[in-house]
Structure 1
Amino acid sequence: MVLDAMSGSTTYSAIDLMDGFYQILMREKDVPLTAVSTPSGMLWEWLVMRQGLKNAPATFNRIVSNLLCPFRDFAPSYFDDIFIHSRAEGGMTEVEVHLIHLRQVFEVMRENKLYANLKNCIFCAPEIPVLGSYVSKEGVRADPEKVETICAWPAPQNQKQLRQWLGLATYLHHYSKNFAATVLKIVSIFDKELLAMRYALIKFRVYLLGEQTFAVYTDHASLRTATKSPHLSQRMARWLSLFSEYNVVVHYKPGKTNILALPRRPDYIQSGRHGVGDEDDDECAACTAEDVTAVEITATSPLRNLISSAYEVDETCSEMIKYLRDPSDTARRRLS
């Protein structure tokens, strides 16, 4: 409402009232209610309105608004800030009109003993900061410092950080064209999750096709109901037709519980791998790590058979394999 009232003006001033609450006197009968005991045993009573009172902001704002009510057309206020705006009218220039407006506001402040903080005041300027924005005759623009902070914000790494950044960037939605459409591209991760599932099914198509039912665990809850949604794009419809070829069951697993059992060492160098392709190999590929000499190991017998036999013999691994082949609550309790 304050910004709308300043439309069409060319000259602006901003007045900051000094120690706003302390300029309001307490009623004499209410002074004892503000008493505070000091370490020396004496009582400290407030003669002016102290900060921290529940109705202090509303009281101060109401007093300033009532005093400036006759000038609300050119001097709107917001708590301890008074914004004066003027334009050329009546054969006078905008500066002459603005000086008249300033004089009227100063007379009211003098009569009611309202003091301004001169260091924070701006007079007869083409642009002033108003409620987190900058107002000039060209219009309203965002605070450059806030824009720089948003642009320099580190890229979000998880869902919580993304929500924090979106809440911060919402400040710019008044000043950005098609802001909602731009943000939609960021927050719409449904297609990306579905694309990852499509890629996995195509990658392991040879192993997954058949009558055996297999499970897909995802931290994206909406994928469970993707096939039932009435609002699907043509691309998603094509993907779902591909999924219908598989006997797949989608299970939701929260991201915080999806922890890797065997995390990769931080000193492992991806570029140090040798001869590792997509095809299965019966030989161990040699890999290098920092400050470790590369050693090539060749299996004397089919490696896959040795590993499979070891899994079947091992008590813990055998139970895990049974659970993966046929997931059930009983098998899960046995593992835990």
Structure 2
Amino acid sequence: MKKNEEILISNSLVKKLKSKMKIPIECTIETNNKGTVSWSRPIKSLKDKEDFQESILDLERRNIVEESKSLWLNPVQLVRKKNGKLRFCIDLRRVNDLVDQDCFEIPRIQELLSSLHGKKLFTGIDLEDGFFQIPIKESDREKTTFYTGKRLMQFKRMPQGFKNSPAIFQRVMHLVLKDLIGTCCLVYIDDILVFVKDRKEHDENLKKVLERIEEYGLKENTEKRAECQERIKFLGYEIGHDEVKPSLNRAQGIIDYQIPKTKKELQRFLGMINYDRLFIKDLSSMLKPLYALTGKEAKFTMGKIEKDIFFKIKDQWSKNLSLIIPDPKKPFTLETDASNVGIGGVLRQEGKPVAYVSRILNKAEQNYGITEKETLAALWAMEKLQYLLLGNRFTLITDHFATEQIKSKIDFGSSRIQRWFHRFERFNFDIEYRKGETLVVSDALNRALYISKDGVAKRVSKGDSIMEYHKKKESSKSY
């Protein structure tokens, strides 16, 4: 009896060890024989030093770091979390400079979200200490060496701060979940979203995903699992009922943000709102005066214009911002527009916004004629939203008469537009011309105004065709 028990225990242990060894990829840090890196910076705070030593002991117990005798050396970065706990990572910038970029593609968040139409229930799975679950090739571990103040240590597991860590982990997850991705789950690095149409399907799909994770010896942080939710937080968004909204916490952070007093504070604000740019019309053109203040040579002064823009943006986030998750079987409409400042568009389905896109024109583009600008707006918006538009027939709506002629390939007298024609050919679309007064402007650019020689803003008369109007030699427009 005892012998049989030993056999059972032995078989169980072998099975467990085998599953632990099934992670199909290890992290390599190939520096192409470009030399070693050795630099450091001291930890000054006594409290930080004390907590740092405790963190190292914890990582050592978990077999994530080990002692090193390497000639390599990287500085340590310490950050206090909101709960007061210390978080540390190593500064691998100089090592990263020696390493080629891993080109495995990280999915675009908006492409992931757009695939969730019709899904009713969701479960979010978070992998515990994601990157630390991937082993580093033994000969490359020395390149992660850091000094604790007492010992040299190096990572045995893939660290934060290595530039290829996200791509490597994404590749691992694609190999682990392979056939399940897109059919019952989505993966963004170490975040997994299981999606279904009903409760029965939910339990089946969740079981498939969890079994696959266990099979490869990966560990889930079960405390963070959000199971069978009609609305769920995923990648900084709230998803449910075929609708996407910005995270409430992030929106509140923008609403509560104080008027920036330095360039750094303004850059932080711009970074916060950039994450949700698909929710706001005309964002690029609206932000241009604020971005102008962040230039190296720019004098930082938040004047009345800049403050008005700042508060206008905050007001946008106080509203109930949302976009629909589109139905791929239903038609899209794309409204595009251009001004002297920027270009952009709004993609709609059944009149509801799917995405807003916009960008500022560079100096060369600002010198384009109006037909070139409007054509560029249409082309850029199509290519920006190609993950939704390619393979689907849609309608391009424009208020510029010449743009309506894109598909006829008539000679506009512009070699630039002629060169763009082949890029339009990838898309299957009809063009609908609407007069400016009947079209809801995608970027609210008030394009029916222009500046006359006396500097007074005037509106184009309804009787004038846009083509005829733009033959006039007025020098500029006002928006």
- Bigger-Rg structure (1/2): 1
Instruction: Please classify the TM superposition score into its range, dividing by the shorter chain length.
Output: 0.3 to 0.5
**Whose helix proportion is higher, 1 or 2?**
1
In terms of fraction of residues, the more strand-rich structure is 2
